[in-house]
Amino acid sequence: MAVHEECGVFGLIGPRSGVIARDVYHGLYALQHRGQESCGIVVNEDGVFTVHKDPGLVGEVFTEEILRSFPGGSMAIGHVRYGTTGGNTRSNIQPMTVRHRKGNLALAHNGNLTNSLELREELEMSGAIFQSTSDTETISYMITRERLTAPSIEEAVLSAMHRLRGAYSLVMMSSTKLLAVRDPGGFRPLCLGIRPDGGYAVASESCALDAVGAEFIRDVEPGEMLVFSAEHPKEAPVSYRRHCGCRQTPCIFEYIYFARPDSTIDSVSVHEARVRAGRILAEEYPVKADVVIGVPDSGLDAAVGYAAASGIPLDLGLVKNKYVGRSFIAPSQEQRSDTVRIKLSPVRSVLEGKSVVLIDDSIVRGTTSKRILRMLRDAGAEKIHLRISSPPFKHPCFYGVDIDSEDKLIAHHHSPEEIAAILGADSIGFLPLSSLGRMSGLTDFCSACFDGNYPAGIPADPRKDRFERKLSERE
Amino acid sequence: MAVHEECGVFGLIGPRSGVIARDVYHGLYALQHRGQESCGIVVNEDGVFTVHKDPGLVGEVFTEEILRSFPGGSMAIGHVRYGTTGGNTRSNIQPMTVRHRKGNLALAHNGNLTNSLELREELEMSGAIFQSTSDTETISYMITRERLTAPSIEEAVLSAMHRLRGAYSLVMMSSTKLLAVRDPGGFRPLCLGIRPDGGYAVASESCALDAVGAEFIRDVEPGEMLVFSAEHPKEAPVSYRRHCGCRQTPCIFEYIYFARPDSTIDSVSVHEARVRAGRILAEEYPVKADVVIGVPDSGLDAAVGYAAASGIPLDLGLVKNKYVGRSFIAPSQEQRSDTVRIKLSPVRSVLEGKSVVLIDDSIVRGTTSKRILRMLRDAGAEKIHLRISSPPFKHPCFYGVDIDSEDKLIAHHHSPEEIAAILGADSIGFLPLSSLGRMSGLTDFCSACFDGNYPAGIPADPRKDRFERKLSERE
Amino acid sequence: MAVHEECGVFGLIGPRSGVIARDVYHGLYALQHRGQESCGIVVNEDGVFTVHKDPGLVGEVFTEEILRSFPGGSMAIGHVRYGTTGGNTRSNIQPMTVRHRKGNLALAHNGNLTNSLELREELEMSGAIFQSTSDTETISYMITRERLTAPSIEEAVLSAMHRLRGAYSLVMMSSTKLLAVRDPGGFRPLCLGIRPDGGYAVASESCALDAVGAEFIRDVEPGEMLVFSAEHPKEAPVSYRRHCGCRQTPCIFEYIYFARPDSTIDSVSVHEARVRAGRILAEEYPVKADVVIGVPDSGLDAAVGYAAASGIPLDLGLVKNKYVGRSFIAPSQEQRSDTVRIKLSPVRSVLEGKSVVLIDDSIVRGTTSKRILRMLRDAGAEKIHLRISSPPFKHPCFYGVDIDSEDKLIAHHHSPEEIAAILGADSIGFLPLSSLGRMSGLTDFCSACFDGNYPAGIPADPRKDRFERKLSERE
Amino acid sequence: MAVHEECGVFGLIGPRSGVIARDVYHGLYALQHRGQESCGIVVNEDGVFTVHKDPGLVGEVFTEEILRSFPGGSMAIGHVRYGTTGGNTRSNIQPMTVRHRKGNLALAHNGNLTNSLELREELEMSGAIFQSTSDTETISYMITRERLTAPSIEEAVLSAMHRLRGAYSLVMMSSTKLLAVRDPGGFRPLCLGIRPDGGYAVASESCALDAVGAEFIRDVEPGEMLVFSAEHPKEAPVSYRRHCGCRQTPCIFEYIYFARPDSTIDSVSVHEARVRAGRILAEEYPVKADVVIGVPDSGLDAAVGYAAASGIPLDLGLVKNKYVGRSFIAPSQEQRSDTVRIKLSPVRSVLEGKSVVLIDDSIVRGTTSKRILRMLRDAGAEKIHLRISSPPFKHPCFYGVDIDSEDKLIAHHHSPEEIAAILGADSIGFLPLSSLGRMSGLTDFCSACFDGNYPAGIPADPRKDRFERKLSERE
C-alpha cells in the first residue's frame, strides 16, 4: 500500500475502428471528477501496446496531435488519477504496462490495498524491484508471478485475488484479452455497457458509458471477473465468480460526494440517494426558514430533497465561478479577498433578511464552511441552519479516498453543537449514521470514515507516507 | 465598427500597494464569463504603463511569474474579450495603449459603435492609420484628436462622446487619471464600488467588485463620466453628467443570459429577473407535469421561478461536465457520441416516465436544444414542455453581443409551433415580448434582438466582416 | 527614434504557390543571426493580409500548425528582430500592418532613424497616436500621410524618404505591390535575387536568397526603391533612383561581426573581408608563436587570414557548446563554473605549453575576453597574443546596432596597452582604423562606432530610453 | 538488449551544497552531444531520491523552477539519451530508480548489452516484470537480484558483472554510495575528476568535468568499479579491479565522430586523434588542390591535419546555421530548397574556380554528402577531392552507437571508386583500416563497424526491434 488514490478506470473492446483512443478520451472526460492529477491511455493493436500518460487533466494531456498518434485497435484502457504532487509521482501515473514471462500486461486500478506493504516485502524477498510507490505495481507483480505457473491470464488473476486485501477495481489488457475485476467487497464501483456496434465498455461509473454511446447493462459484481476476447470482440464477456459471495461493502461515500449524480452504482441512482439524504435531514432536523440553499455543486441534490420534504422553497443563493481551475493564483494576505469568495459568490437578493437552510455534503476541516457562512452573513442572511447530508467525518479512509488524517477532521474533536458554534451556524444537523441504509437503499456497505469499522482491516503501518518511511530506514 | 465583441472591463485606483495587478487579476476572473478569448492588464506606475495581454483565459495568460513582473502602482485597468479566432486578432486584444501629443492613454472597452466605419473614414482622411479592426482604436483616435485642442483629458472625452454612436462602456487611464464612461443609452453595464482602504473599483458587473473586496456603491449612470485622480486616490470621483438624460436603453439580454446571476445591474438583481421570467412562463404557459428541469447553468434560475409559481417540483435532471473547456476535442462523425452528450448528461431517475417542463434561457439555431430533447427522450422522458425565458430571437445585435446572422436564427424563419415540432417538444412557450418590462423591472431598455427596434440605429454596412470587405475593395 | 534594433528583413513575390509562408520561414531561418528576440510573417492573398508574429526564435514561433494556417498568396514579407526584453515590447514586433485611407500596408524595417522623435512630434501635432516605440510606426505614418495626396504608393514612399534621416532598409507590401527600399546612405544591406520559377526575393543578406533557392542578382543600391507587382509577379522590378547618388555609408560592422560569412554585401564577400582583416593584423602585429586560434564563431575567418599571412599554423583550440541557447541557466556564484566556461572549452593539447595568437572580432566590455584568456592560461597556454579584427570600439551606434553606451566600452577608457594588461594578454593588436578600407574594399562607409564620425547625425536626445523619458514628462 | 542508445552519464559527490542539481545540469549540458532525446537528474538527499526526467534537451527539460525544486544533497547523477521517438519510450528515459529488498538504487547507463534478451528471459522465468525495453532495467534486475544474497551493493555489482556481456558505463547511487563502473572491454568512456571543494565527479567525457570546475584525474579503467561514500564525500573512491585485465576494446568511433574534440579519452585527445587522421589522409591520398575545407563541425579537426601535412591552405568554405534544431520544419518537395542547403551554406569566394579537398568524418548513407558536393559545385568548385577521416562504414554497431542497418550503408554495397562516382567526387580517400591504431594511439580497440570483428559478440537476434518482436509473438 502506498499513496492514497482516488481514480477512475475505463476499458473498451469492439470491432476495429480508427477512433478507439478518442472514445477512451471521451470516457475519461466523464470520469475526470474522479482524478485530476494525471491520466493515461493504452491502445492494444494486435498485441502491441501504445501508451501515452502524463500529469494534467484529460483535456491538457491529450491533444489532437497525440490522439492522432495512437494506432487503431480493438481494445484500449484508460485511467484518471488523483494523488499528491511531487517529483517522484510521474512513475505512479497509470495505466501501468509491464512485460512478463508470458506476454504484456496493461493495468488501470482504482482503490487501495491494505496489505500492499506485506506483499511488497514478500515479493522483494524473491527479487522483485519496484519503480513506483503505487499498489498497481504490487498487483502487477502478484498477477504476473501467478502467471508463471497458471495456465492462463484468467487463472493468474483469480489466484492473485486470493492474496490481495482491500479495495481494487481493475481494468486490464493482455495481448489478446480485456479483463475487468472488482474486489470481493466491491468497495469501488465498476460497471458494464454495450455499444451499438456490439462492442463493450467497462467504467468506474455509468456516466462514462453514456459518454461513449454505450448502454448500461449491469454493475460488475463484487468479486467478479469479466473477460473479453480480442478475437471475438462482440461476444459477451465470460464471467468468473469464484470470489463472489463475500460480504459486500461498497463505499457509501461514492453516493455522498465522490460519484457524479447522473451515475447509477450498484443499482442505486446517485442523485436519488442524495435527494433522499436531503429528505431525511428535513425529517430529522426540521426548522422554520424562508429558503433552502445548496452549496454547489455537491450540495444541490440534497437541497432538492430537503426543499421537497420541508415545503420550504429552494433557491440558488450561491453561484460558482466555473473558471477557477488548477492554475488559479489565490489572493495574497495583503489583498482583501480570499479564494472561497472568488470560487463562490452569494446572491444577495436571495439571502438578504432571510432565514436560510444551507445544505452541504460534508464537513472535513471546517475552514471552507466557516468562510461560506461568513459570506452568507455578509450578504444579509439572518439565520443559517446548516444541514449536512452525511454523518460526521471522524476517521481516515484506507480504501481509496483521500481523507485528511483524523487530527485535522473537525468532527473528530468536536460535537455537532461545538461545530455549529465554530462555524457560526444557528443550528446544525448531520445525517444520522443509522440513515445511511435508507439513504442508499443498500443493506451492507463500508462507512468506516463515519463509524471506524474497517471491513478490510487497516494497513500495518497506517501512515500515509509509510512506504517512503520504510525505504529510508533501509540500506 | 468592426468585429462583434462581448467583453468585460475593470478598473482600480487606491493607495499604493504591491498587489494591484493581482487585484485586477481577481476582478477579471469574476468577469471571465463575459469573454474567454483574450485578456489583458495595464498597470500605471507614476505615468509609466506596464502591459501584458495575450490570447487565452485569465488563468492561462497570467501566471505567477507574469503577475510578479508588474510594478506596484495606484491605478490599473483590465479587460476580458470574446471574439472570433484568427491570425489577425492579436492586434485587437485589449486594453489598448496609445501615445499621443499630450501623453499616454490606456483603454478598455465593452460594446460596439454603429458609426465606426464613418468615423474611421473621416479619421483616415486626415491621416490616421489603423493597426486593428476594433472600435477601441476608433475611440482612442476620437479622444486623442479632441485632446489636441481640449484643455484636459476629461473635456476631450466629453467632446468625443458627441461623435460616438452605439454602445460603449469604457475604463481608461491617462498618466494621472482613471476614467469610467458609459454611453448615453447605457447599453452595457458599468458599476462603482469602494474598497476597505478607501480606493475605488469600476467593473462591468457587480460580481467583480465582490471578488476584490469592494462594496457596491451604485451603477454608473448612462451618459455619465467618472474621473478619479491618482494624486488623491481616496477622493470620491468627480461626476460629469453632460451626456446624461437621454432615453435609457440598457441591454435586456444581460438579464436573460449574459450577466452572472449574482450581479445587480441598474438596481435589478439578475437572479431575481430570471426567477421572475420563470414565474411569468408558469402563468402564461401552465402545464400539468411531474418535474421542472433547468438547462444548466443559465436555465436554472428561471426553473426556480417556474417551479415556485406552478407548484411543480424542481429537480436536477441534467448534469454539466465542468471539465469541458476550450481544449476539448469533439467526437468525430464515426464515433457514437456528440459534444452535447459529453457536456450535458441526463439523470435517468429524474426523467424516466415523467412529464417534464424543461427551462432554457434562449434558442438560437436550435441545434443544441434539439439534441438535449433527444437526450431526455432517450433517458425516458414521456412529455417535454419547453419553456424559454426570453422572447424568440429574431434579429442580430449591433451593440456588443455576438449573435448569429438572422439567416441562422430558427425563430426568424419559424413560428413557435413549428419550432416545437422541429425540436421534438410536446409544447413550447416563449417569454412574451410584453413581459420584458415586468421581468426586468425596467421601463425602458433595448430589446432589438427580439423586436428589431434599434435605439442607436444600425451600421451603414451591417455585415459582420464589413470592415475587412471595405479594405479589400481599396488600393 | 526609439529602441535600438538589429534586424533582418525578407520579401518574396512569385507565381502563386501553396508554400509562400514556408519559403519566408526558411528565409528567416537564414537571417536568424540578425535578431533572436521576435519574428513575424505576413502573407498577402489577393489584398488580404494574414499575420503571425510573436516573441521567440523562428523555429519556436512558427510551428507546422501555424505555417499551415497561412493562405497561399503571391507575396509575403518577414522579419527577425533583436531588442531589449520587457512587458511593452510586444507592440514593437514586426512586420507592422496598418490600414490607411488608401488601403493596407505591411512593413518590415532594419535600421534606426535619427529624427524619429522630431517626426513623431510633428505627427502628433496633427493627431497621430502611437501604439509602439518603434521607428517602423513612424515610417508607416510618414508614408501613409504622403499617400493621402500622392497618386500612388510609390510616390508616397519617395516623398516620405525626403523626410527620413538615418538608416532604413525596408520591405513593404501594399494590396498589390511589394516594395524594397534602402536609405540613401545604404547603412544596412539589402539585396535582390531571382527564383527558378521567375519570382523574386529581397533580403537583408544574400545567405537568405540561397536558403530559398534564389540566385543573387545584385544589391539594392543606396537610395533605390524596387517595386514588384502582384499582377505580374515574374516581371522584373521597376527601379526608382531619385534618392540615389548621395554619399554611400554602408555599415562597416556588418563585415566585422554582424553579417554571416557566406553573405556578400555590396559586392564584397563577408568571409573575404574577415580573412583580409586577419592578414592585415599579421602584417601590422607580427609575432613569433606556435599556433593561431580563432574565437568561435566570429573570430575563425580572421584566424584563417592571420595564419595564412604569418605562416603560423591554424588550429582549433576552442570548442563551442552549440546547445547553449536562450533558456540556459547560468551557474550561480556558489558554483565553481561560469557561463563562458560552459559555452566555450579549451582544447588542452592544442594550447599546453604553446605561444598562442588568439583572434577575436571585437572587444566590447572586455569581460568575456578576460575569461577566455584566463581559461587558455588554465589550459596551459604560455603566451597569448591577442589580435582583434576591428579597431577599438569607442562610440555608440545610432543606426541600428545595439552597442553598449560608451561608459561601458573598455576602449573608451583605456589604451590598447592598458587593455592588454587588464585582460592578461602578452600583447595586443587592433585593426588600424586606416585599414578598414583595405579590409572591406570599400571607399566610403560608416565607421562611427570606431571614429565617432556620424554620417547621418545623431538624435537630438541620444539616450537609449529617450522615447520613454519624453513621455513620462508629459500629461 | 533492446533499443540502440547513445548516451552520456554523469555523477557528483561532495560536501553538501544547495546547488548539486545545478552542477549536474551544467555537466549534462557538456554531454548534450551524446544524446538529445531525453534527460534526467536524480538527487540523493539522505537516502531520499528526487527525480526529474523528461523528453527534450537539457535546456528544455530543466527550467529554473524545476532546478529549484530539487533538494540539496551530497550525491546526484544525471543522464542524456538518444533514442528513437515513439509513444512507448517515456519509460526508457534515464536515470532509472528502483526500490529493492535492501534499499533504493538509481542507475544511469551508456552502452548496449549483447545478452540482454537472454538475461531478460532468465529473469522472467523467476518472476521479473519489465516496464521498459532498456538494458538499464535488465542491469537493475541483475544487480538487485545479486543483492538479495550479496553482503553489500559493491559485491552485488561485481557479481552481476560476471553475467553482463557487451558495453556498459554505469553511474549508480544507493542510499549511501555513488558507484561508477566501466565494462571489462571499456567500450564506452568514463572518467574521474576532483573538484576544488574536495568532492568528485564522474562523467562520460572529460569536457563535462571542465563544465563543473572539476580537474581530470584519470579514466576509469575497463573493468574497474569506483565506490564513493556519502558519509565521507571527500575521501578518494575505493577501486575494485576484479574485472580488470581483459582485452581492452574502447570504441574507435568515439574518436572519429562521437566525442567532443576537447575531451580526452583513455589518455588520447580526441582533437589530436582527428588531426592525425587528417595527416594520414594527406599522406595516403595526396592531391594537388587550392584549398582544404572541412564539413562543420566534425570534419574541421581532420581538415586542420590535412592542411598542415599537405601544405594546402585551410579555409572555411562551409557555414553552418546554428539555429537549425529539432523544431526545424524541412522544406517540402514543392519548394526549391532542401534541409542540407539551410543547415550548411557554401562560401562562394572560397570555392569559385577552385580545386577543393573536402574533409568529412564519415559517410553513412551518402545522401547528405551527395547534396553537399552538389552545393559546392553550384558555388563554383571545379574539382572536389573527398577525404574521409574514417574507414568505410560497413557493419552495424551493437555496443551503443545508433548506426543504420547495413542495408542502407553505402559502403556495404559499393567500392570507394563507386562511391566517388555516386557522390560526384573527382577522387575519394578513406582512412585505411590499418591506420586506426596510429590515428588513436591505441593498440587495441573495437572497430567492428569497419571490420565486422565484434569483440563482445552479437545479440542472438540482431534486429533492432528484436525486443518488441519477441513480445508480440507471445501470449
For chain B, the domains span 7-249, 269-442
pLDDT band at A17 (very low <50, low <70, confident <90, very high): confident
Residues of D in contact with C295 (CB under 8 A): none
Spatial distance between the Cα atoms of D379 and D348, rounded to a whole number of angstroms:
5
Dihedral in degrees, nearest 10, Cα atoms A400, A401, A406, A407? 110
Residue ranges, chain B, pLDDT below 50:
1-4, 84-88, 467, 469-475
* Residue of chain D minimizing CA distance to A140: D129
Domain A7-249 has CATH 3.40.630.10: no
- Measure CB to CB from residue C102 to each of B105, B144, B474 and give the nearest one: B474
DSSP annotation of D328: -
Amino acid occupying residue D146: E
Whether the bond into B95 is cis, omega within 30 of 0 = yes
In Å, what is the CA distance from B204 to each residue of B61, B97, B169? 20, 20, 8
Residues of C in contact with B153 (CB under 8 A): 475
Indicate the CATH number for domain D269-442.
3.40.50.2020
Spatial distance between the Cα atoms of A277 and A430, rounded to a whole number of angstroms:
10
Those chains having 3 or more beta-carbon pairs within 8 angstroms of chain C are: B, D
Spatial distance between the Cα atoms of B174 and B190, rounded to a whole number of angstroms:
19
pLDDT tens-digit readout, A67-83 = 999 999 999 999 999 86
- Measure CB to CB from residue A472 to each of D47, D51, D91 and give the nearest one: D47
* Residue of chain A minimizing CA distance to D85: A69
Does the distance separating the beta carbons of B103 and C474 come in below 8 Å? yes
Q: What SS3 class is residue A190?
A: coil
CA distance C135 to chain B (A): 14
Burial C160-183 (b: 16+ CB within 10 A, else e): bbebbbbbbbbbbbbbbbbbbbbb
Residues 331-350 of A with CB under 8 A from B: 331-332, 334-337, 341-342, 345-350
Q: Bigger pLDDT: A398 or D220?
A: D220
Spatial distance between the Cα atoms of D341 and B417, rounded to a whole number of angstroms:
68
Whether the bond into C346 is cis, omega within 30 of 0 = no
Residues of D in contact with A91 (CB under 8 A): 51, 97
pLDDT band at A465 (very low <50, low <70, confident <90, very high): low
Spatial distance between the Cα atoms of B263 and B207, rounded to a whole number of angstroms:
5
Q: Which of B99, B139, B327 is the best mutation test for C, with the most CBs of C within 10 A? A: B99
Whether the bond into B297 is cis, omega within 30 of 0 = yes
Diameter over CA atoms, chain A: 73
In Å, what is the CA distance from B176 to each residue of B15, B104, B142, B179, C472? 14, 10, 20, 10, 11
Helices (H), D101-191: 116-125, 135-149, 153-161
- Measure CB to CB from residue C127 to each of B51, B121, B126 and give the nearest one: B126
Assess B31–A contact: CB distance below 8 Å, yes or no. no
CA distance D447 to chain A (A): 34
Does the distance separating the beta carbons of D195 and C348 come in below 8 Å? no
Of B7, B39, B191, B446, catalytic: B7
Residues of D in contact with A52 (CB under 8 A): 87
Lowest average pLDDT, out of B214-218, D246-250, D458-462, goes to D458-462
Residues of D in contact with A24 (CB under 8 A): none
Amino acid occupying residue C202: V
pLDDT band at A5 (very low <50, low <70, confident <90, very high): low
Which whole number is the average pLDDT over A178-201?
97
For residue B377, how far is the Cα from the chain centroid?
33
- A230's enclosing H/E stretch is none
Burial B312-331 (b: 16+ CB within 10 A, else e): bebbbbbbbbebbeeebbeb
Residues of C in contact with D214 (CB under 8 A): 336
**C-alpha gyration radius of chain B:** 23
* Residue of chain A minimizing CA distance to B67: A329
Is the pLDDT at C86 greater than 70, yes or no? no
Nearest to A95 by CA among A82, A111, A84, A79: A79
Q: What SS3 class is residue D75?
A: strand
Does the distance separating the beta carbons of A62 and B329 come in below 8 Å? yes
Does the distance separating the beta carbons of D474 and A103 come in below 8 Å? yes
pLDDT band at C401 (very low <50, low <70, confident <90, very high): confident
Judge residue D20's burial from the number of C-beta atoms within 10 Å of its C-beta, 0-12 exposed, 13-18 middle, 19 or more buried: buried
Residues of C in contact with B177 (CB under 8 A): none
Does the distance separating the beta carbons of C471 and B174 come in below 8 Å? no
Does the distance separating the beta carbons of D60 and C327 come in below 8 Å? yes
Does the distance separating the beta carbons of A57 and B323 come in below 8 Å? yes
Count contacts between A and D (CB, < 8 Å): 129
CA distance D396 to chain C (A): 28
pLDDT at B337: 73
Q: Do the Cβ atoms of B1 and B467 come closer than 8 Å?
A: yes
pLDDT tens-digit readout, C235-257 = 999 999 999 999 999 999 999 99
pLDDT tens-digit readout, C339-366 = 888 999 999 999 999 999 999 999 999 9
- Measure CB to CB from residue A328 to each of B19, B59, B262 and give the nearest one: B59
Count contacts between A and B (CB, < 8 Å): 184
Whether the bond into D297 is cis, omega within 30 of 0 = yes
Helices (H), B33-134: 58-61, 64-69, 116-125
Those chains having 3 or more beta-carbon pairs within 8 angstroms of chain A are: B, D
Residues of A in contact with D96 (CB under 8 A): 131
Cell numbers at residue D106, please?
Answer: 538509481
Which whole number is the average pLDDT over A317-346?
86
Q: Which of A116, A147, A148, A475 is the best mutation test for D, with the most CBs of D within 10 A? A: A475
Those chains having 3 or more beta-carbon pairs within 8 angstroms of chain B are: A, C
Residues 349-368 of B with CB under 8 A from A: 349-350
CA distance C252 to chain D (A): 19
Lowest average pLDDT, out of A10-14, A27-31, A321-325, D354-358, goes to A321-325
For residue A265, how far is the Cα from the chain centroid?
12
Does the distance separating the beta carbons of B335 and A26 come in below 8 Å? yes
Amino acid occupying residue C375: M
CB half-sphere exposure, B334, CA atoms < 13 A? 9
Spatial distance between the Cα atoms of A261 and A269, rounded to a whole number of angstroms:
7
Residues of D in contact with C275 (CB under 8 A): 315
pLDDT at B402: 73
Spatial distance between the Cα atoms of A206 and A184, rounded to a whole number of angstroms:
20
Does the distance separating the beta carbons of D475 and A99 come in below 8 Å? no
pLDDT tens-digit readout, D117-152 = 999 999 999 999 999 988 999 999 999 999 999 999
Judge residue C241's burial from the number of C-beta atoms within 10 Å of its C-beta, 0-12 exposed, 13-18 middle, 19 or more buried: exposed
pLDDT band at A19 (very low <50, low <70, confident <90, very high): confident
| Beta-carbon contacts of residue B407 (< 8 Å; ≥ 6 apart) | none
Spatial distance between the Cα atoms of B336 and C166, rounded to a whole number of angstroms:
65
Amino acid occupying residue C265: I
Judge residue C386's burial from the number of C-beta atoms within 10 Å of its C-beta, 0-12 exposed, 13-18 middle, 19 or more buried: buried
Spatial distance between the Cα atoms of B210 and C31, rounded to a whole number of angstroms:
51
pLDDT at C97: 95
Q: What SS3 class is residue B1?
A: coil
Output the 3-class SS for chain C. Answer: CCCCCEEEEEEEEEEEECCHHHHHHHHHHHHHHHCCCEEEEEEEECCEEEEEEEECCHHHHCCHHHHHHCCCEEEEEEEEEECCCCCCHHHHCCCEEEEECCEEEEEEEECCECCHHHHHHHHHHCCCCECCCCHHHHHHHHHHHHHCCCCCHHHHHHHHHCCCCECCEEEEECCCEEEEEECCCCCCCCEEEECCCCCEEEECCHHHHHHCCCEEEEECCCCCEEEEECCCCCCCCEEECCCCCCCCCCECHHHHHHCCCCCEECCEEHHHHHHHHHHHHHHHCCCCCCEEEECCCCCHHHHHHHHHHHCCCECCCEEECCCCCCCCCCCCCCCCCCHHHHHEEECHHHHCCCEEEEEECCCCCCHHHHHHHHHHHHCCCCEEEEEECCCCCCCCCCCCCCCCCHHHCHHHHCCHHHHHHHHCCCEEEECCHHHHHHHHCCCCCECHHHHCCCCCCCCCCCCCCHHHHHHHCCC
- D172's enclosing H/E stretch is strand D169-173
Cell numbers at residue C440, please?
Answer: 572591406
DSSP annotation of D423: H
Residues 71-110 of D with CB under 8 A from A: 87-88, 90-91, 96-105
- A447's enclosing H/E stretch is none
Cell numbers at residue C465, please?
Answer: 530610453
Does the distance separating the beta carbons of B474 and C175 come in below 8 Å? yes
* Residue of chain C minimizing CA distance to B69: C87
Burial D153-184 (b: 16+ CB within 10 A, else e): bbebbbbbbebbbbbbbbbbbbbbbbbbbbbb
Sign of CA dihedral C17, C19, C20, C23: negative
CA distance C262 to chain B (A): 34
Q: Which residues of C are catalytic?
A: 7
pTM metric for this prediction: 0.92
DSSP annotation of B223: T
Residues of C in contact with B140 (CB under 8 A): 129
Cell numbers at residue B286, please?
Answer: 401552465
Spatial distance between the Cα atoms of A342 and A337, rounded to a whole number of angstroms:
8
Which whole number is the average pLDDT over A140-153?
96
Lowest average pLDDT, out of B27-41, C10-24, D310-324, D461-475, goes to D461-475
Does the distance separating the beta carbons of C327 and D211 come in below 8 Å? no
Does the distance separating the beta carbons of B60 and A30 come in below 8 Å? no
Q: Which residues of A are catalytic?
A: 7
Spatial distance between the Cα atoms of C319 and C340, rounded to a whole number of angstroms:
11
Spatial distance between the Cα atoms of A336 and B17, rounded to a whole number of angstroms:
12
pLDDT at A182: 98
Does the distance separating the beta carbons of C26 and D335 come in below 8 Å? yes
